[in-house]
Amino acid sequence: MSHGIDWIGTHSTTERSAALHGMLGGISLTCARGVDADEFLINLGADLDELAARTPYRDRTAPVGGTPAGVNPVMYGTCGDWLYVLENWGMATWSTGYLEVESMWPYPGEEIVCVTLNWWSPPSQVIHVPGDERARRAEFGEDTGEGSALDSALHAAGAVFPSIPDYPASEVTAYREEHGPRLPAAVFTAVGNYCGLSIDREAVQAGDLPSLLIPMV
């Protein structure tokens, strides 16, 4: 079994396979604690009946005709105090909706960590709301500037580019292009270490985790 969540970053550019019943490549992650799991999913747009059904992802995506327009199939689970939501449509729904959809905004004491690949609106980002209703954003290769435990985890995992202000812009660009491909694995490693999060890759690939259809925001 492949646990941790570094594998999510390692496979961030892996192309989808029609033979795969679950997810592997291009996964974005949202995790939350300090809030009831079902409540968070409902605020994200989950249908009550679908939530009660706990339908495995492989069964939801199998029917002829595919997924209805205007919704994305997501996979979810829990690990320790955290609820996590996995999406492979190129973005994380929470990241696109929390500024516009009031129900998505966390209350005091509710912590959100979101890693969104932002295929449709680069760059990839980490968003952290540590419980005080204020979102901190960091592009891949940077920290949030808060000196937080999450920032420390990003540095420890090698997910933060060194500061090289005295070098020519061309050299800085070349450095980022050379080392950029390793960032997704480093970022997911850092988030996994910070959250103590472990997600079974084989279960995700097989589509064994419960799923929901979440409206596009």
Q: What is the pLDDT of residue 166?
A: 62
Sheet-wide strand order for 82-87: 136-139, 125-129, 111-116, 28-33, 82-87, 71-79, 211-215
Q: What is the pLDDT of residue 36?
A: 96
Cβ distance 34 to 109 under 8 Å? yes
Domain ranges of the chain: 6-215
Rounded distance, CA 18 to CA 189, Å? Answer: 27
Tens of pLDDT, residues 131-156? 999 999 999 999 999 999 999 999 99
Percent of the chain with pLDDT over 90: 76
Tens of pLDDT, residues 3-42? 799 999 999 999 877 778 999 999 999 999 999 999 999 9
Q: What is the pLDDT of residue 164?
A: 63
pLDDT at 66 over 50: yes
Q: What is the pLDDT of residue 15?
A: 85
pLDDT at 64 over 70: no
* Distances in whole angstroms, Cα of residue 185 to Cα of each of 103, 121, 130, 191, 206: 31, 20, 22, 10, 21
Distance of CA 72 to the CA centre of its chain: 14
Q: What is the pLDDT of residue 1?
A: 46
Rounded distance, CA 91 to CA 146, Å? Answer: 24
Q: What is the pLDDT of residue 19?
A: 78
Angle between helices 183-195 and 149-156 (to 10 degrees): 140
Name the E strands within 99-172.
Answer: 111-116, 125-129, 136-139
Q: Which two tokens stand for residue 214?
A: 């979440």
Rounded distance, CA 6 to CA 20, Å? Answer: 20
pLDDT at 65 over 80: no
Going by C-alpha positions, the residue among 156, 162, 113 that lies closest to residue 142 is 162
- H or E element, residue 39: helix 37-44
Going by C-alpha positions, the residue among 4, 30, 3 that lies closest to residue 192 is 4
Tens of pLDDT, residues 88-125? 999 999 999 998 999 999 999 999 999 999 998 899 99
Tens of pLDDT, residues 154-202? 999 999 988 766 666 666 667 677 777 899 999 999 999 999 999 999 9
Q: What is the pLDDT of residue 16?
A: 78
Query: Which residues does 134 contact at the CB level (< 8 Å), separation at least 6?
Result: none
Q: What is the pLDDT of residue 171?
A: 63
Name the E strands within 49-124.
Answer: 71-79, 82-87, 111-116
Cβ distance 144 to 112 under 8 Å? no
